[in-house]
């Protein structure tokens, strides 16, 4: 279970970093873009924590779909403020995956300390990987790292 917790933190960090960079590039670098993503994500986490445990793999797929939708629509119409509600919903759906993940992992582990330790360590490594990956490979990394991290998480999650 511990590798899956680490992989989840890594995935959440890479996904959040990629969301942020994508919207900074295609929407705006104003503080409102960061606020939009943060509020959408946190609202999704709140909603996901209220769902029954056991749906985290379905929400993993939905989270990737939301990131793909945001990536596609922001590319079709860059700097279009009318798409902000859609972008907030995409971030919220990804945040809901985080909420369902924590609910499911806690139900299985019954140890919040270990859960948060491993997930947070993965998150820190994911933030560093997101920065270094973007620095080294640019947008290619930001577009393909979330799906790659999701595949890793899904594989480890099935083994746990």
Q: pLDDT tens string for the chain (160 positions)?
A: 688 899 999 999 999 999 999 888 888 888 888 899 999 999 999 999 999 888 888 899 999 999 999 999 988 988 888 999 999 999 999 999 999 999 988 988 888 888 889 999 999 999 999 999 999 998 899 889 999 999 999 888 776 5
Q: CA 39 to CA 59: how far, in whole Å?
A: 19
CA distances from 75 to 53, 80, 91, 142 (A): 35, 10, 16, 14
Contact 97, 56 (CB under 8 A): yes
Distance CA 84, CA 34 (A): 12
What is d(CA 79, CA 73) in angstroms, rounded to the nearest whole number? 11
Q: Residue ranges per domain, the chain?
A: 2-159
The Cα–Cα gap between 90 and 74 comes to 12
CB atoms within 10 A of CB 157: 20
Half-sphere exposure for 3 (CA within 13 Å, toward CB)? 10
């Amino acid at each position: 279970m511990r590798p899956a917790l680490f992989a989840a933190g890594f995935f959440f960090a890479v996904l959040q970093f990629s969301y942020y960079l994508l919207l900074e590039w295609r929407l705006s670098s104003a503080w409102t873009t960061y606020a939009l993503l943060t509020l959408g994500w946190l609202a999704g986490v709140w909603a996901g924590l209220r769902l029954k445990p056991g749906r985290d793999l379905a929400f993993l797929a939905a989270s990737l779909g939301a990131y793909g939708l945001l990536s596609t629509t922001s590319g079709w119409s860059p700097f279009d403020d009318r798409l902000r509600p859609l972008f907030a919903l995409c971030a919220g759906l990804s945040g809901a995956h985080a909420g369902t993940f924590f609910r499911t992992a806690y139900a299985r582990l019954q140890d919040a300390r270990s859960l948060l330790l491993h997930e947070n360590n993965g998150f820190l490594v994911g933030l560093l990987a997101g920065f270094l990956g973007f620095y080294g490979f640019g947008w290619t990394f930001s577009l393909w790292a979330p799906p790659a991290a999701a595949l890793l998480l899904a594989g480890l999650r099935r083994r746990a």
